[in-house]
Every structure is written in structure tokens, then in C-alpha cells.
Amino acid sequence: MNKGFFVDRTESEKNTLRNVLSRYHDEVIPLKRGASAEASRLRAMIRHPIAELKIAALSSTHIAKYRDRRLKKVAGATVNKELNLIAHAPETSRRE
């Protein structure tokens, strides 16, 4: 409950980040400009261990660790784009 409103977390407790990112990859990315670059970025994220986490279990600590590991391998701009996808994909999934 948040400020007197019931928040149904059923979907977030059963879906992993991988499920949400895969659905986003299949349904949303083909409609965007620059789809090939974003699709390859998503495929890399889907293979990362963070994708195994349930959406409800995903915390800022997990995101920070992901960010720090990725910054050792890729540029900061790439990590920013990946973090934006991690934020946007579940939000899009929740709305639909």
C-alpha cells in the first residue's frame, strides 16, 4: 500500500527482468528508429545476470552494481542508455 492505495505487485513478483526486456525487444524496439543498435544493447542486457532477478526484487543496489561492472567494459553513454532501458521497459510493460 502506498498512501492508502493498493498496489498490485503480482506481475512484478512473477516476471523477471529478462522476460520484460525480451517482450520490449519483440514488441517495442521494432517500432523505434535506431532499432538495430537498441536491439543489440538489449540482447547483451538479457544475457547479464541482473536479468535473472524478479522485477519486484530489483533494487537500487542491484542497479548500482550493474552500472559499476558495465562502466569497466563500455563507455558511460552506453551505460546510461542501458539504464534508461531498464527503467523504461518495465514501465512500458506495466502500462500495457
What digits encode the pLDDT tens for the residues 28-55? 999 988 899 999 999 999 999 999 999 8
- Eight-class DSSP state of 33: T
Between CA 53 and CA 70 the distance in angstroms is 17
Where do the structural domains in the chain lie, given as residue ranges? 10-95
Separation between Cα atoms, residue 55 and residue 4, nearest integer Å: 23
Annotate 36-70 with b (16+ C-beta within 10 A) or e (fewer).
Answer: eebeebbeebbeeebbeeebeebeeeeeeebeeeb
pLDDT 10s digit of each residue in the chain, 96 long? 456 665 555 655 778 999 999 999 999 999 988 899 999 999 999 999 999 999 888 999 999 999 999 999 999 999 999 999 999 888 877 776
